[in-house]
Amino acid sequence: MRISLEVSMYPLTEDFIPEIDAFLKKLHQTPGLSVQTNNMSTQVFGEADLVFKTVNEGILAAYDSLEQCPFVLKVLKSDVSGKEIKKYA
């Protein structure tokens, strides 16, 4: 089953950019995933097992190097990567 997952990462450290970059690099370099990153979050599209496995590995890696790092996840049981975004007037 293909899914869409949105993830936001909030490293609780002054030097947070390298931690976020490491997490995003892993996502973007994983074959089989389609990944879109913007200023607020990252959307990951692909087979559920691969999406969850890759995000879980990234979270565990962050927890190995950080004291605290909240993550916010939203999951949709559908791949919406090609859907048009409705514009509101």
Half-sphere exposure of 33 (CA within 13 A, CB side): 24
Residues 6+ apart with CB under 8 A from 39: none
Asked whether the whole model's pTM tops 0.85, one would answer yes
Check: CB of residue 79 under 8 Å from CB of residue 45: yes
Does 73 score more than 90 pLDDT? yes
Question: What is the CB neighbour count within 10 angstroms for residue 4?
Answer: 19
pLDDT of residue 9: 97
Q: Which domains does the chain have, with CATH numbers?
A: 2-76 (3.30.70.930)
pLDDT of residue 58: 97
The pLDDT tens digits of the residues spanning 55-71 come to 999 999 999 999 999 99
The pLDDT tens digits of the residues spanning 4-48 come to 999 999 999 999 999 999 999 999 999 999 999 999 999 999 999
Residue 84: both structure tokens together:
């048009």
